[in-house]
Structure formats: C-alpha cells, structure tokens
C-alpha cells in the first residue's frame, strides 16, 4: 500500500466533509430536528450529528460521495460499531436523553441532488 493522501487532498476532503455536515444540519432542521451536537468526539468514536425529534435521539453519519450507493457503502460495519459505542458514551454523559428511543441514520450527500436521509440505517446489535 502506498503513502496516504497528501496534505491538500486531506484538506479538500475535510472541507467537503464540513460542507456536507452543514448541509445535513440544515436539512435536519428543516425536518424539525433539534441539533444537540456536531462532530461529537469521545475516546471510543465520533458522531457527525446528534439530534432529537419528538421522543427519539438520532445519531447521524454524514457521507459525501459521487453516488448514493457509494455513500451508503462507505458506512462500514466497523464504522457503525464505533458510532454505536460513541452513542452509548454520549448517553452516559447526557443522562437526560437516556429514556428516548434511539436511532442510527445516514445522511448521504451527492452532487446535484437533495440529501438522501436513510432513517434507521442500522441497528445496535
């Protein structure tokens, strides 16, 4: 395996990721979600967006790719496990949300299309 992406490629991906997350937040707000956290980090993982709507807390993974299929495929089972562990950590540090229903969503951002919101993209196993 060769060297990883150079600095400018990483910066470009980082900027694309931030733009995609901003777009996702706007879309979620338009759907009446209340955003609790963006880029929530803890020792066991990271969650792009934590939001609440009605009686459900939603942990959202945002992916920007060329196609919806590529975006969904990029949410790997390993990533899902990390996000699930981070969600548990979030709930432990924010006990007032522990009684809510919990859901894992994916928000897929592709060029020249509206964001694709996949509710209940995976389950905590």
Please write the tens of the pLDDT for every residue from 38-92.
999 999 999 999 999 999 999 999 999 999 999 999 999 999 999 999 999 999 9
E-assigned strands of the chain?
A: 34-42, 45-53, 56-64, 101-109, 116-122
Q: Are strands 56-64 and 34-42 parallel, antiparallel or unpaired?
A: unpaired
CA distances from 65 to 3, 51, 113, 116 (A): 22, 22, 11, 12
Query: What residue ranges define each of the domains in the chain, with the CATH number in brackets?
Result: 7-122 (3.40.1350.10)
Question: Does the predicted model carry a pTM greater than 0.85?
Answer: yes
Q: Are strands 56-64 and 101-109 parallel, antiparallel or unpaired?
A: parallel
∠ CA 31-54-89 to the nearest 5 degrees? 100
Residues 4-42 have pLDDT tens digits of: 667 788 888 888 888 999 999 999 999 999 999 999 999
* Rounded distance between C-alpha atoms, residue 121 and residue 62, angstroms: 12
Token representation of residue 95: 């006990």
Helix (H) or strand (E) holding 63: strand 56-64
């Amino acid at each position: 395996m060769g060297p990883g992406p150079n600095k400018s490629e990483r910066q470009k991906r980082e900027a694309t990721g931030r733009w995609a997350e901003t777009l996702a937040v706007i879309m979620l707000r338009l759907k009446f979600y209340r955003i609790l956290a963006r880029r929530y980090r803890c020792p066991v993982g990271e969650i792009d967006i934590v939001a609440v709507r009605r009686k459900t807390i939603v942990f959202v993974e945002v992916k920007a790719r060329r196609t919806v299929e590529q975006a969904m495929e990029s949410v790997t089972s390993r990533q899902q496990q990390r996000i699930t562990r981070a969600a548990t950590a979030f709930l432990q540090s924010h006990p007032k949300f522990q009684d809510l229903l919990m859901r894992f969503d994916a928000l897929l951002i592709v060029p020249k299309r509206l964001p694709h919101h996949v509710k209940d993209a995976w389950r905590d196993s």
